[in-house]
Amino acid sequence: MSTERDSETTFEEDSQPNDEVVPYSDDETEDELEDQGSTAEPEPSQINREAEENREPFRKECTWQVKANDRSFHEQPHFMNTKFFCIKKSKYASNAIKTYKYNVFDFIPVNLFEQFKRVANLYFLILLVLQTIPQITTLAWYTTLVPLLLVLGVTAIKDLADDVTRHKMDKEVNNRTCEVIRDGRFKVAKWKDIQVGDVIRLKKNDFIPADILLLSSSEPNSLCYVETAELDGETNLKFKMALEITDQYLQKENTLATFDGFIECEEPNNRLDKFTGTLFWKNKSFPLDADKILLRGCVIRNTDVCHGLVIFAGADTKIMKNSGKTRFKRTKIDYLMNYVVYTIFVVLILLSAGLAIGHAYWEAQVGNYSWYLYDGEDSTPSYRGFLNFWGYIIVLNTLVPISLYVSVEVIRLGQSYFINWDLQMYYAEKDTPAKARTTTLNEQLGQIHYIFSDKTGTLTQNIMTFKKCCINGQIYGDHRDASQHNHSKIEPVDFSWNTFADGKFAFYDHYLIEQIQSGNEPEVRQFFFLLAICHTVMVDRIDDQLNYQAASPDEGALVSAARNFGFAFLARTQNTITISELGTERTYNVLAILDFNSDRKRMSIIVRTPEGTIRLYCKGADTVIYERLHRMNPTKQETQDALDMFANETLRTLCLCYKEIEEKEFAEWNKKFMAASVASANRDEALDKVYEEIEKDLILLGATAIEDKLQDGVPETISKLAKADIKIWVLTGDKKETAENIGFACELLTEDTTICYGEDINSLLHTRMENQRNRCGVYAKFAPPVNEPFFPPGGNRALIITGSWLNEILLEKKAKRSKILKLKFPRTEEERRVRTQSKRRLEAKKEQRQKNFVDLACECSAVICCRVTPKQKAMVVDLVKRYKKAITLAIGDGANDVNMIKTAHIGVGISGQEGMQAVMSSDFSFAQFRYLQRLLLVHGRWSYIRMCKFLRYFFYKNFAFTLVHLWYSFFNGYSAQAAYEDWFITLYNVLYSSLPVLLMGLLDQDVSDKLSLRFPGLYVVGQRDLLFNYKRFFVSLLHGALTSMILFFIPFGAYLQTMGQDGEAPSDYQSFAVTIASALVMTVNFQIGLDTSYWTFVNAFSIFGSIALYFGIMFDFHSAGIHVILPSAFQFTGTAANALRQPYIWLTIILTVAVCLLPVIAIRFLSMTIWPSESDKIQKHRKRLKAEEQWKSRHKVFRRGVSSRRSAYAFSHQRGYADLISSGRSIHKKRSPLDAIIADGTAEYRRTVES
């Protein structure tokens, strides 16, 4: 028993998941996890080593080796991998990106190979071969060749057009240029020519061509600012910093050209936030981490020049590794269509076999004894039956519709163009139209069950706006004038009095401006002064223009707001910060910056005023600030009420406070602070403890309220999609509080929603697993599975879960084995069996746990997953696909969404933003989230309905056409003779019945686009597969079979005893064939008229035009002139003219068509009268319905003090710039000395508190 337990992989159950941390679930190894637990991270200082030849790898996994400025190093034999037989290729990828499939030489063979992988195409190729055998065929070879060539040609042209587009996109990216060291100098080179080990130079606003190690830059201490919009859709800047040694020595071209550093690092992987490696140079080694790596796809900002060494290129870069595997996506209807075709194959074989047996029996009973049927062959009846089997395979081949696939492609292509041309999905502001980037998934847009959406840049604009504030218990931000009178319409505040105002800020409360300018309430000025001084924002001042760079958009919004209200942050040095206070510049000594982190949820700054007073200013989440307030805060309750109101309005809130510090108190605290700052172990914990000592007894100033601006129409879109029974899950890398706040803003969550968090879910799943384990007894396999709900019926529930909890719940945490077990291999068969069983049990447990989680999550009305990695996003999508068998759609705008977009059945990219990586990998793209409702509820629904109607009709018309041969067989000795002329068989699907059904598949609509949006409930027919399924297919088969019987037997009966006007009986085979063919063409074309819901001139013209075309071609083919040219191919000379001049033949045709169509009309009438569908009801009353419904936002009732939510303030995803500022590494050298600044004025902002 102990052996079995030891051999199992155990999980760290004692470690509680951290909600604030993004888990490194991507590509982690057991060794890494053990290293995390056993060894401390190396100090970022220089580690003296022996010479390069005596070095040891920095870590076991650091097997990727890079030599600077030495391309021959990477071409050594031991870096070569065998790709195909003796062909070898370097393991280092080139920097060229390839997304195309064909080239000039292999297009034709490869494309034909792919097309013949389709069963129908291969089937018709085999038929073509069979038709060359005279003993088998009764049809001419061109009856198969012409449709086959048409199908192959149209598909090849479409594939070629798609691939040419991919070629152009690849060429555009690969031919971008940058400067690379060549022959000792920087020379311009194309991206595709860059290789691992090259040293490159990048300039401001350049895209980074590969993953590179930052060597130096034009900024102090080789800082480099990058924008990561391509990766995560965020526009706030991140900073990277080079090693001190490379910053010192590698600034000039000649030193960069002679740089011969050697790097050992981890193999290429998809972890965007993690990098481990070592630089060996000058007989020393220097540790490398993610802060020194610039990733492909990012953009250089605010840095004139930087230099880097290429570490990973092309397909090895992290952005490409995160792209996930490109999957060939096919729709649900595609799969069903294939099964239907297989079913038709079975029907074809059974019919052919039955008719072949009938022929063998007929030969034995009749044929052998009828001397006039002797054909000179002495074959046995069974052999004749065998030949007739293949003959019927050929005659009945049109049961398998060769033109089906090409018709489907044409319809999808047309529907794609409709999406591209839709002006209501065109975003004029950025000149961005909607784009269908694939033409194979349109009808699947009408079957979506789940939408997985990113947050930043997808639901939100990633633009923070200062909306309201509460100062000293008074709320500001409403529309009111300087006399505190509210107005519904009022002009925005005029900030022209402020020379530092940016001109973009809109604020409507004139009373707040009056308070600032009058100075009646010192707390108001103190409030904005705090916003101007307590932050880690960096500033560039160019031509008197201030340009702020913040670690998060929230912080930038607050500093910009203070600037507009008269308190402008102007400059900072390592130890000072300069503020313009209503036009007066004052400089303050910065004594300490207590930076933000996810545990503290606050930041503070301690400054000395020009008057010598020491003050601490603090801002943070209300939950942590209120715990540290002085007990005598008179406005505490008023501020709490304001916070509740702001949270109810889904604004992101932040509390501001301060305290004065005595000189002696600060001196004592500063000693502890300095000691903690240089601690060699657990430095962060020590600093946090010291921070706690000074951040207490704070005086509350008020609270800010920032709006994380949603994209226009997001709540409306989500509301309509919910009414269409589509569930929306938000998957984001943002913090839990921020994601929850956006959930309320876009109305995924409401005040009535019961929210379940990770710990709640873990407990529910643990209980469910225990119950399932208890039920697993001896008779478990005989008992039906029990699907009990996790929650009682009723109530509105939502699930909010972080990436760490997701790993914990889904048992995705990386396992650790003991080192002893690692070396212990199973020695006996028993040990091997026990270990195998243990592994299977673990896999079964994991699978059951994941299924339970999906079942639980799907019971919730909304699911928000935050702090998740790109791999986890894809994993969540895959779980729903796997266990719910539901159609999924993923929508995002950054490279971190690419894996999710590729995993979902349909991927949508938000274009028009800075990041285009998601768009490049998507199936559809547009500029705004709100266009999703039109894409699904209009284009998706229409496409689904059109495709289903097309398929039902297509199968019907082919069965009606082909099964006439079956009935004819009973009267021709089962001899595989065709009932029609050869040219009619060839052109039936190509000309006589193709255009009307194509136009129906392109243009038909049951209700208008406005009514489709007004009644989202119409969408459910696609989710439930109501319009095309196996039942519908067999109904079409039965309808076609009955039609074929009528088409054959009514003319057959009419021809039994007939006499023409001239006294002759035109009951010959050729006239009979013309009569059936004419009735067939008229029947199937009028039938599509009955199926058409949306009539246009084009539809009517195509129906009557197809009938006219049939008669025109038939009279032409039956003329004597064409018979003279090709007598063997055109044998029905004069048949049409002779037969169709007889009135009773026309009567026969009309009677046949009437008998075929009247029952259909009767059934349709009864169905619409007695059992009308939702669309039938809307069609009936569409004239009195309004064209469009005005969506009304849910009425919100604010209940004071009831809201338990807290709207979080996102300082940044990591720590801010405080360490950078304190160290002075970001500050330019030329600064005014402190004693040059005149410290005048009095302490205007002091506030005393009576004890």
Residues labelled as active-site residues: 454
Give me the numbers of helices (H) and strands (E) for the chain, helices first please: 42, 36
Amino acid occupying residue 1161 = I
For residue 772, is it left (φ>0), alpha (ψ between -120 and 50) or beta? alpha
CB 946 within 8 A of CB 413: no
- Separation between Cα atoms, residue 298 and residue 1055, nearest integer Å: 79
Q: Cα dist. 142→122, 147, 148, 758, 983 in Å?
A: 17, 8, 9, 66, 9
Contacts by 597-604 with C-beta closer than 8 Å and gap 24+?
A: 597/684, 597/688, 597/1215, 598/20, 598/21, 598/735, 599/20, 599/688, 600/624, 600/688, 600/691, 601/1208, 602/695, 603/534, 603/535, 603/536, 603/1211, 603/1216, 603/1218, 604/534, 604/691, 604/694, 604/695
- Beta-sheet strand order (sheet of 293-294): 185-190, 177-182, 199-203, 305-312, 211-217, 293-294
Sign of CA dihedral 957, 962, 966, 969: positive
392-422 in b/e burial notation, b at 16+ Cβ within 10 A? bbbbbbbbbbbbbbbbbbbbbbbbbebbeeb
Could you give the CA distance from residue 535 to residue 216 in angstroms, rounded to a whole number? 27
Q: What is the C-alpha separation between 580 and 563, in angstroms, rounded?
A: 8
Q: Is 961:400 a contact under the CB 8 Å cutoff?
A: no
H-assigned helices in 534-650? 553-564, 622-625, 636-648
* Dist. CA 786–CA 768, nearest whole Å: 11
Amino acid at 838: S
DSSP code for 1015 = -
Q: E strands along 797-877, which residues?
A: 797-802, 862-866
Cα(first)–Cα(last) distance of the chain, in Å? 68
> Got the DSSP string for 961-994?
HHHHHHHHHTTTTT----SS-HHHHHHIIIIISS
SS (H, E, C) 229-257: HHHHCCCCEEEEECCHHHHHHCCCHHHHH
* Per-residue CA distances from 393 to 405, 616, 978, 1004 (Å): 20, 90, 12, 35
Query: Residue 980: left if φ>0, alpha if ψ -120 to 50, beta else—which one?
Result: beta
Structure tokens at 1020: 């459910």
Q: How many CB atoms lie within 10 A of CB 1197?
A: 7
Q: Cα(713)–Cα(708) distance, rounded to whole angstroms? A: 14
Question: Would you state the structure tokens that stand for residue 820, as one six-digit string?
Answer: 């002893």
Within a 13 Å sphere around the CA of 404, how many CA atoms are in the beta-carbon half?
29
* Six-digit token string for 276: 């481990």
Nearest to 475 by CA among 1204, 1195, 1205, 1200: 1200
In whole angstroms, give the CA distance from residue 190 to residue 183.
Answer: 16
Phi-psi region of 135 (alpha: psi -120 to 50; beta: other; left: phi over 0): alpha
CA-nearest of 471, 492, 402, 442 to 124 is 402
